[in-house]
């Protein structure tokens, strides 16, 4: 990572900015805006050093900081944890002009955003993602939520943040498996909107496959910036996922089903990687991708994802479970399943109500070499 580079600011419409840079963690207070007195800093137990630094930066800038440690990963996204944070806000006397800061991975930013959206019908939130997945996906866009026993993110709200701060230096200590999982969402942006992302991934792998899967990837900051720009442009045009924003769900309907069936033991980016291969095969079966170019694009899904060490197949024999979960997906309309597929590279479209036989056939094509990620 080049520390000489100035931070990059990516606007999300005219609503807020995403700041991406090296050594910018202490700038969190700049994104809070005027009138804030109290800040609830929500973080997982795995980030004591970073939470101390953010707490110190906020206190140096005159804020009264209340710290809330929440469980790691999906265990944070429950009604019980959210209720505990509401109690903390109430006991500390938080008003509508105060704020929440979410410091952590996508699960923490989802939770912090939901708590901010629901407290007093909405207080300011600043997201400080500490994982690649959080930077390029969860923290940007204003979608917040918690899980229930029936599915992922079924309870939530659209609540745009006051700002998002992505300090790329924090990725240096991110476990490789988590960074690779985040690259799954980056690759998604390449297939739906920005093919340069796929070229950069290919270049990094050709130069040094091991480094391409680490924070030492020389293209990592550009990949983050490009993925954030894709999401920012889509979100600015469609905040509430009524039309265009659905393209960001490429690979997610099947991917979310895998996550739930596996009890969330798979990382989100791993499940989405398989989900992208699934919808690529579904696009070919339904005629959206055809001929040699279509075959090549399906093959490219597998080659790019596998080059990063991401899974591209799922175990056989689980179709009934997966289908039942997909039918409860929040993107469905009644009993009609909806998928994002490609008509070509960077040409996403919707596939509404495909025949069940084709859905199962696509599953067969991704379950022949079924494995579980490490």
301 catalytic, yes or no? no
Token couple for 179: 């960074």
Residue 185 in marked binding region: yes
Catalytic residue, chosen from 38, 43, 124, 143, is 143
Catalytic residue, chosen from 2, 6, 121, 333, is 121
Do 35 and 25 touch, CB atoms closer than 8 A? Answer: no
Please name every residue paired with 66 in a beta bridge, in sequence order, or none if there are none. Answer: 40
Catalytic residue, chosen from 245, 267, 301, 302, is 245
249 catalytic, yes or no? yes
240 catalytic, yes or no? no
The CA distance from 96 to 119, in Å, is 8
Residue 252 in marked binding region: yes
Catalytic residue, chosen from 43, 66, 159, 231, is 231
Catalytic residue, chosen from 213, 226, 252, 288, is 252
DSSP codes joined into one string, 157-219:
EE---SEEEEEGGGGGGS-HHHHHHHHHHHHHHHHHT-THHHHHHHHHHHH-HHHHTSTT-TT
The CA distance from 343 to 348, in Å, is 6
Question: Edge-to-edge strands of the sheet including 16-21?
Answer: 8-12, 16-21, 163-167, 124-129, 99-104, 38-43, 64-69
Quick one: DSSP state of residue 336?
B
Token couple for 3: 């520390």
Quick one: DSSP state of residue 134?
I
Nearest partner of 278 among 316, 327, 314, 308, judged by Cα:
314
Which is it for the CA torsion 45, 171, 237, 345, positive or negative? negative
Residue 131 in marked binding region: yes
330 catalytic, yes or no? no
Q: Is residue 151 helix, strand or coil?
A: strand
59 catalytic, yes or no? no
Residue 15 in marked binding region: no
DSSP percent split of the chain into helix, strand, coil, nearest 5: 50, 20, 30
Catalytic residue, chosen from 43, 66, 268, 302, is 268
188 catalytic, yes or no? no
Residue 75 in marked binding region: yes
The CA distance from 77 to 108, in Å, is 8
Do 277 and 366 touch, CB atoms closer than 8 A? Answer: yes
Catalytic residue, chosen from 256, 284, 288, 301, is 256
Residue 109 in marked binding region: no
β-pairing, 151-158 vs 143-148, is: antiparallel
Residue 130 in marked binding region: yes
347 catalytic, yes or no? no
219 catalytic, yes or no? no
Residue 268 in marked binding region: yes
Q: Which residue has the tokens 């720009």?
A: 229
Catalytic residue, chosen from 124, 185, 213, 217, is 185
Which is it for the CA torsion 209, 213, 217, 223, positive or negative? positive
- List the binding residues for NAD(+): 72-77, 130-131, 143, 152
**Binding-site annotation: residue ranges:** 72-77, 130-131, 143, 152, 185, 252, 268
For the annotated catalytic residues, the residue numbers are 121, 143, 185, 231, 241, 245, 249, 252, 256, 268
From the annotation, which residues make up the binding site for Zn(2+)? 185, 252, 268
């Amino acid at each position: 990572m080049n520390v000489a580079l100035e931070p990059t600011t990516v606007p999300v419409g005219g609503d807020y900015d995403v700041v991406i840079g090296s050594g910018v963690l202490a700038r969190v207070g700049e994104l809070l805006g005027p009138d804030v007195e109290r800040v609830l800093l929500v973080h997982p137990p795995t980030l004591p050093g970073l939470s101390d630094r953010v707490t110190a930066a906020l206190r140096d800038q005159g804020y009264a900081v209340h710290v809330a440690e929440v469980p790691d990963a999906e265990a944070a996204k429950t009604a019980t944890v959210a209720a505990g944070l509401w109690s903390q806000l109430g006991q500390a006397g938080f008003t509508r002009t105060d704020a929440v800061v979410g410091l952590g991975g996508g699960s923490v930013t989802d939770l912090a955003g939901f708590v901010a959206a629901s407290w007093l019908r909405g207080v300011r939130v600043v997201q400080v993602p500490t994982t690649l997945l959080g930077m390029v996906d969860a923290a940007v866009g204003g979608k917040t939520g918690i899980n229930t026993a029936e599915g992922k993110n079924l309870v939530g709200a659209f609540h745009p943040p006051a700002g998002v701060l992505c300090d790329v230096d924090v990725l240096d200590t991110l476990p490789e498996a988590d960074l690779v999982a985040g690259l799954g969402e980056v690759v998604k942006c390449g297939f739906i909107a920005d093919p340069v992302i796929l070229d950069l991934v290919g270049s990094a792998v050709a130069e040094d496959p091991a480094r391409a899967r680490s924070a030492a990837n020389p293209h990592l900051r550009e990949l983050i910036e490009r993925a954030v720009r894709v999401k920012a442009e889509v979100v600015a045009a469609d905040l509430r996922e009524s039309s265009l924003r659905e393209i960001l769900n490429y690979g997610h309907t099947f991917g979310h089903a895998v996550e739930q069936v596996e009890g969330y033991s798979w990382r989100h980016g791993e499940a989405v990687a398989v989900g992208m291969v699934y919808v690529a095969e579904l696009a070919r079966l339904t005629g959206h991708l055809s001929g040699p170019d279509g075959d090549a694009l399906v093959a490219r899904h597998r080659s790019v994802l596998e080059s990063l060490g991401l899974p591209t197949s799922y175990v056989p024999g689980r179709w009934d479970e997966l289908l039942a979960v997909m039918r409860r997906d929040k993107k469905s309309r009644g009993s009609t399943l909806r998928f994002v597929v490609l008509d070509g590279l960077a040409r996403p479209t919707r596939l509404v109500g495909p025949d069940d036989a084709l859905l199962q056939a696509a599953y067969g094509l991704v379950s022949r070499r079924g494995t579980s990620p490490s």
